Structure 1
Amino acid sequence: MSEQIRPDVARLVGARIRAIRTSQDLSVVSLAERSGVSRRMLTQVELGQANPSLTTVDKIAGALGTSFSALIGVLDRPAPDGVAVWSTPAGSWAYLVNAVETPAATIELWTWHLIRGDRYEAGAAVGAPASMVHVTGGEVRVRVGEADRLIDPTRSARLDAGHDRVFEAASPVADFVWVVTIPRDAEPT
């Protein structure tokens, strides 16, 4: 499984990206240059015809001077259980529970439920600080670059953001909390 977001969230994000872009009087070409995302992909995202990765949405949001958390409304009024952002047919899921923005960064709090056999792949976030993972149930295997780490229940770990990260359940089911910091001047995760 890749880091693509749920189709309903992708449509919401696309509409908000288009609204912000037009309110800033930016063309799709200008936003493509600012974000490093192709014009074709931007158009497809805005129309809800693409299911972009979180990395792509973070790049677009950063170029617009906002964040993924703001695009889905978590900053304005967080839902009690968060917003379901990622899921699989097997039953794995991820919710963005809350977020805080500072002038320097966005800090996101995620809760995850992975079923053995599913995986979540997160790209590297060059320049971002380490993220923090706390396992609340089961065991989580995380590959950071070439190194594998097994995180037991009730244990925590820091994960280097400068490398790709792959999360998998090492037990039949694994639950964990992930805190991610996205600096304003770093390539997002």
Structure 2
Amino acid sequence: MAERSGVSRRTIINLEAGEANISLSGLDRLATALDTTFVSLVAAPSATPTAIDAVAWRGRTAESIATLLGSAPASREAQLWSWSLAAGDRYDAEPDADGWHEMILVISGQLLIQFENNELVLNPGDHSTYSSAQPYAYANPGKSTTRFARAVIS
């Protein structure tokens, strides 16, 4: 395993014992050596790609933490957007081509994402992953500006 992944034997042994804090790229190399994906390696077996919520790294203090929130398949392009919507504003999106997904993380305010047959209300810290190959809209039902990060993946 150490030879295939490029991760030292000592690190692997300490990782198995829960005594090592491996880098994210080290985890990725271990996943490749195990013929799996990074997401499959760190996610709980019951997790869905849209709600992984797996801690993948911890720093020296409790405030230093990296949590994998969700995953979407990608083969062509990924875009990262910073969005803000004023109170009462709305964005109506056209459906993307099949295979496109969005990942949203609300930073402040409240975001309503409306689909044809359902809707999601996201508050600060909430996230969602969904296929954008469908009609959808963003709306701000609150009284203050909503800010969110949007990743578009194809």
User: For this structure pair, what is the TM-score category when the shorter chain's length is used for normalisation?
Assistant: 0.3 to 0.5
Q: Which has the larger radius of gyration?
A: 2
Higher helix proportion, which one?
A: 1
What TM-score, normalized to structure 2? 0.48
What TM-score, normalized to structure 1? 0.39
